[in-house]
């Protein structure tokens, strides 16, 4: 059974998609960009601040679905520029202390609303 996950603690979807979908114990979180859900605007700063906000948004969705970062099995990181990789990676690593998930990282031509980073996430119940 497909369950729609939505929380006011993460940004509202800016298109025809859900924040996350849970199916058979697997949670699929849509790509998160650095929008502060309290203001509806991008956080100020560069790649470090944007990655921090993205990870907080992911955490809020995980929590709303009854998951945690330790349940994450796969992330896809999209960057506006691979020169941001090391800074994004430093922030990302703070959220996965042990047994980090599988991951891919790509540079793309452009991200929604001019974001520097977008991260989509898959989590599974153990």
Q: Considering Cα of 93, then 48, then 61, then 105, what sign does the dihedral take?
A: negative
SS3 2: strand
- Domain span at residue 89 reads 2-124
pLDDT of residue 101: 97
As for how many domains the chain has, the answer is: 1
Q: CA 15, CA 125: separation in Å to the nearest integer? A: 28
Q: For residue 89, what pLDDT is reported?
A: 97
Q: How many CB atoms lie within 10 A of CB 89?
A: 13
For residue 74, what pLDDT is reported? 98
CA–CA separation, 19 vs 27, rounded Å? 10
CATH classification of the domain holding 25 = 3.30.1330.40
Q: pLDDT tens per residue, the chain (126 residues)?
A: 899 999 999 999 888 999 999 999 999 999 999 999 999 999 999 999 999 999 999 999 999 999 999 999 999 999 999 999 999 999 999 999 899 999 999 999 999 999 999 999 999 997
Under a CB-based contact definition with an 8 Å cutoff, are residues 107 and 82 in contact?
yes
């Amino acid at each position: 059974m497909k369950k729609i996950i939505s929380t006011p603690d993460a940004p509202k979807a800016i298109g025809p998609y859900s924040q996350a979908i849970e199916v058979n114990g697997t949670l699929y979180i849509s790509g998160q960009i650095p929008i502060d859900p309290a203001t509806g605007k991008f956080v100020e700063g560069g790649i470090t601040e944007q990655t921090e906000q993205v990870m907080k948004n992911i955490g809020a969705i995980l929590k709303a679905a009854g998951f945690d970062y330790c349940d994450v099995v796969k992330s896809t990181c999209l960057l506006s520029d691979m020169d941001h990789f090391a800074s994004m990676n430093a922030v990302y690593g703070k959220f996965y202390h042990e047994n980090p998930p599988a991951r891919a990282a790509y540079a793309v031509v452009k991200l929604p609303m001019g974001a520097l980073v977008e991260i989509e996430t898959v989590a599974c119940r153990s």
